[in-house]
Structure 1
Amino acid sequence: MLDETVTAVHRRNLEAGLPALAATRGDPEVRALRVEALSRAAVGMSRGIESLIVRDQSNADLWLWLGRTRIEEAWEIKPEVKARAVQAHRLEAYHTAMEQARQPLLTAAGLAPGDPVPWESMLWLALGLERPRADKDSVWFECTRRWPTLYSANVARLVTLSPGWGGTAQEMMEFARTTAARAPEGSPLPALLPLAHFENVAAERTPMSRGGWFSFDAQREMVSAAGQWSERRIGPPHPRSIEAHNAFGAAFYLADLRRPARGHLIRTGGRYSRVPWSHLGDPESQFQRACGKLNVITN
């Protein structure tokens, strides 16, 4: 259903997104996933969402969608670090665009006080604007007190704590380990461990290459985390299971642990996630390359 809705939004049929979002009220994991997918599909069409809001100004779904779409639109124009000196005007445009996401998200939060998803989006907003740590911590508090195990919010927090975004490896790894250890049954939160190891190594490596990514201790920790998730996984798949399989699959592929890598990549159903593949280059091509080497059929 989400695939069909994303396709419709790509074709500028924004109204197709409304029932998909309305159906997620009360289910933060699915809501966060759909908001993310539909906002990426709506990049360049935020004015269209504004038009829908004019007709239904008390709809929290629309305000949330608008705010997250503006964040995704801002990421699209963010200049590379090396180009900032000669693209000051583009950096200013990026900050202006990112800041425009704040009010819609606050409106969505006000209309749906128990919903953690606007706060999850504001975690990315605070990250994108490089807000002071105290601001990031306060947004995290608001999110976690509503739904502490929200996968996408925990990923955002992990990135906030990473060395590449002003944090430290020690704090990031401690967060990943503690969160993974406390993950409820069926939750893919143990995947924070491979994601943390990717963030840790990526902050130190340049240029990216396949060899020597993870130490033996890191590999052992990730294997243990994967086992922990598998043993505690019950019931239907978690909405973020595919992302977790991508995280473990990519890590084991780089560690040349072919059998577990193949097992996880098969379970992606041929779907890649931006993270962690973006650490290697273009996410889709890197995913396809790994699947090809492991004889995983992706179509």
Structure 2
Amino acid sequence: MLDDAVEAASRGDLRPASAVLADSRGDPETRSLRVEALSRTAVGASRSIEALLAHDQGNPDLWLWLGRTRLEEAWELRPDVRARAVQADRLHAYRSAMDQARQPLLAAAGLAPGDPVPWECLMWLAIGLDRPRPDKDAVWYECSRRWPALYSGALARLITLSPGWGGSAQEMLGFARSAAAHAPEGSPLPALVPMAHFEIVAAGRTPMSRGGWFSFEAQRDIVSAAGHWAERRIGGAHPRSVEAHNVFGAAFYLSDLRRPARGHLARTGGRFSRLPWSHLGDPAQQYRRACARLNL
């Protein structure tokens, strides 16, 4: 359903996307995945979503989609941190575009009070605008109290706590390990542990290279987390299982642990996730290179 809706949206037909989002009500994990994929597809087409909303003001799906699309459009404008001093105009445009996502997301939250996904999106907004820590904590509270195990919400929290965004490695790792230890059966939350190690290394090195990514202690932490993730789950695979396989697969690949790397990447079905591959360069290119080197 999502593949078909993404393909249609890329052609300018937004109706299947609207139906796919409506179908996800009451299932936050699926809803989060769908709105993320559809919003990235709709970058540059937020006006078309506004046109749909003009005829359906009470639709929480369309407000959520509009808010997340504006968020993704804003990220496209974000200036390189090393060049911000000479990109004041671009920084202003970025912040202005980012702030335009707030009202639609708050509208979505108001129309669907039990839905954590608008709050997850507001977490990314708080990160993008570099809001004070109490503001970030408050939005995380609203998201987590509605759906404590939401993978995408926990990932946003992990990034909030990361050294690259003003947090600390110790606090971030503590959060990741706690989330992994208390993950519900079948939840891919253990993948936050290797994701935390990626964030730690990424904060301290540029550009990325394959050699020397993880210390022995970090590798042991990642192996332990992988052992805690049992993908089996009532109702089928978790919507974020492919993403988790990408995270573990990339971590094992960079650690030269070929067998577990192949095991995880073979289960991605040819689909790559933006994180963690973007830490190495172009995500699609890095994913395909890893698969080729592992004879997948």
Q: TM-score by structure 1 length?
A: 0.97
2:277 paired residue number:
277
Give the 5 Å matches for 1:31-50. Answer: 31-50=31-50
Calculate the aligned-residue CA RMSD, in Å: 0.8
204-213 vs 277-286, which deviates more?
A: 204-213
Question: How far has the Cα of 1:87 moved from its partner?
Answer: 1.3
For residues 3-152 of structure 1, the aligned pairs below 5 Å read 3-152=3-152
**Structure 1 residue 257 corresponds to structure 2 residue 257:** yes
Question: By how many angstroms is 1:206 displaced?
Answer: 2.1
Where do residues 214-229 of structure 1 align in structure 2 (5 Å cutoff)? 214-229=214-229
- Partner Cα distance (1:5, 1:24) in 2: 13
1:233 is displaced (CA, Å) by 2.9
Dislocated runs of 4+, deviation >2 Å: 232-235
| Unmatched segments (≥5 aa) in structure 2 | none
1:199-218 mapped onto 2 (5 Å cutoff): 199-218=199-218
**Corresponding residue for 2:191?**
191
Counterpart of 1:164 in structure 2 is 164
What fraction of aligned residue pairs are identical, expressed as a percent? 72
The CA deviation at 1:194 is 0.4
Aligned-partner Cα distance in 1 for 2:233–2:61: 30
- Tell me the CA shift for residue 115 of structure 1: 0.3
State how far apart, in whole Å, the 2-side matches of 1:166 and 1:254 are: 26
Structure 2 distance, partners of 1:130, 1:13, is: 34
> After superposition, what is the alpha-carbon deviation per residue over 1:95-123, rounded to whole angstroms, capped at 9, x for unaligned?
00000000000000000000000000000
CA distance in structure 2 between the partners assigned to 1:243 and 1:224 by the alignment: 18
Q: Does 1:233 align with 2:248?
A: no
Deviation of residue 207 (structure 1)?
Answer: 2.3
Q: CA deviation at 1:85?
A: 1.5
d(CA) in 1 for partners of 2:85, 2:203: 21
Aligned equivalents of 1:119, 1:99: Cα separation in 2: 15
Letter in 2 for 1:166: G
Residue aligned with 2:229, SS: helix
Deviation of the 1:81 alpha carbon = 1.1
State the secondary structure of the residue aligned to 1:43.
Answer: coil
Distance 2:101 2:63 in 1: 10
Aligned positions, number: 295
Partner SS, residue 136 of structure 1 = helix
The two structures have a TM-score, normalised by structure 2, of: 0.98
C-alpha deviation, 1:234, in angstroms: 2.9
- For residues 53 and 142 of structure 2, what CA distance do their matches in structure 1 show? 25
